[in-house]
Amino acid sequence: MFKRIHQFLLPKDTNEGWTPYLWLIYLSFFFIDWIFKDLTLALNLLAALTLGVFLVLYFSTYRRKGVAAFAHIVAILALAVVWTPFNTGASVLYIFAASFAYRVGSVRSSILIIAGIIAIASVMAPFAYLPWFFWFPAAVISLMIGLANLFFAQNERKNAELRLSKAETRRLARVAERERIARDLHDVLGHTLSLITVKSELAGRLIESDPAKAHKEIQSIESTARSALAEVREAISGIQEMTLDEALEQARLSLQSVDVDLTVERDPSIVLAPQTEAMLALVVRESVTNIIRHADARHCTIRLLRCQTGQQHRLEIQDDGRGRIRPDGNGVLGMRARIESINGQLRIPSQSVGGRLIADIPAVAS
């Protein structure tokens, strides 16, 4: 039950674990000032309403980036400003607002937001005739926590880029291996097919004049062909196609490096054939590349689900960016060819926001 609540409140890909709940302990400072005061019923109700609104904003901000995160920070800051004249404990709300500055985007934007929060707290203190112990913690701790979270976010972004670099290195290693195998196949088959051609022509000329020698040449052709087949099998034994799980992990790292959240929904009961999985992995990689280059998105969702009819599986890739997927683009044409090679169908439904790509593949392919 607690795990379900946790997944509802916080995004799956958050790296902070249970610490967001720990930070809520500091919210108790909001109520300390009222221990020594007699509060009216109306003030109690307003405090309870404020607490509810703050918690909604608090957990929602963990799912937001960019402009949406900035709007949540402004809302928390507004609660702090409204309560400042009535409660010195409202200083903790400035700190919470500053702690989310890193989710807005660039380092410069985050620092400007932190500076703005400190400036507002410093202005509100004399305006509301509050003592130094109101604005000092609000200013200093907001600066410390805001910059610390910004540092950790930048560090996590660099770690994601490093993991992406390692994944790219592994991919390039696979490409190099394929190129080596292609060269080996060229050398093996080029020589062998030339030899088989010569021997076949010789056997054709001897089949009437010297049947015994022609028979011997045909046996030699068979032996050469079997040897070539064995060499081909040995050459291609090292080929390893990218699995769908590997493609999804690489997609997550790629999107994370450009501040795009990825949600993956995959039916665990779906088992794909190696060829089908390889084709879908290529489609995922190409789609994510397009999102990074053109979409300017903040969130991407990749789903692999079983259709209601049970006759097909569906791969769906959707983003909330401003880009549109061109049906005649080279990337889309390549993806369509891959999906059709496994008897599937690729569709790009039109929609008002973001891009959406749907690939339906026969369930019998798995």
Please state, as a whole number, how many other Cβ atoms lie within 10 Å of the Cβ of residue 25. 8
**Least confident among 23-27, 170-174, 339-343, 344-348:** 170-174
Q: Higher confidence at residue 35 or residue 307? A: 307
The CATH number of the domain covering residues in 244-365 = 3.30.565.10
Using pLDDT thresholds of 50, 70 and 90, give the confidence band for residue 185.
low
Residue 322, C-beta contacts closer than 8 angstroms, at least 6 positions apart: 295, 296, 297, 354
Class of domain 174-236: mainly alpha
What is the reported pLDDT for 360?
92
Using pLDDT thresholds of 50, 70 and 90, give the confidence band for residue 30.
confident
Q: Write out pLDDT tens, residues 269-308.
A: 888 888 888 889 888 988 888 888 778 888 999 999 988 7
Tokens of 91: 């200083």
Using pLDDT thresholds of 50, 70 and 90, give the confidence band for residue 365.
very low
What are the extents of the domains in the chain? 2-161, 174-236, 244-365
Q: How far apart are CA 118 and CA 259, in angstroms?
A: 26
Q: Is the pLDDT of residue 105 over 50?
A: yes
Give the largest CA-CA distance in the chain: 121
Q: Write out pLDDT tens, residues 76-87.
A: 999 988 888 887
Same fold, 174-236 and 244-365: no
Using pLDDT thresholds of 50, 70 and 90, give the confidence band for residue 366.
very low
Are the C-beta atoms of residues 357 and 329 closer than 8 Å to each other? no
357: left (phi over 0), alpha (psi -120 to 50) or beta: beta
Q: Write out pLDDT tens, residues 321-335.
A: 876 777 777 778 878
Please state, as a whole number, how many other Cβ atoms lie within 10 Å of the Cβ of residue 48. 10
105: left (phi over 0), alpha (psi -120 to 50) or beta: left
Name the percent of the chain lying above pLDDT 70.
80
Q: Higher confidence at residue 99 or residue 210? A: 99
Average pLDDT, whole number, for the chain?
A: 79
Q: Higher confidence at residue 363 or residue 164? A: 363
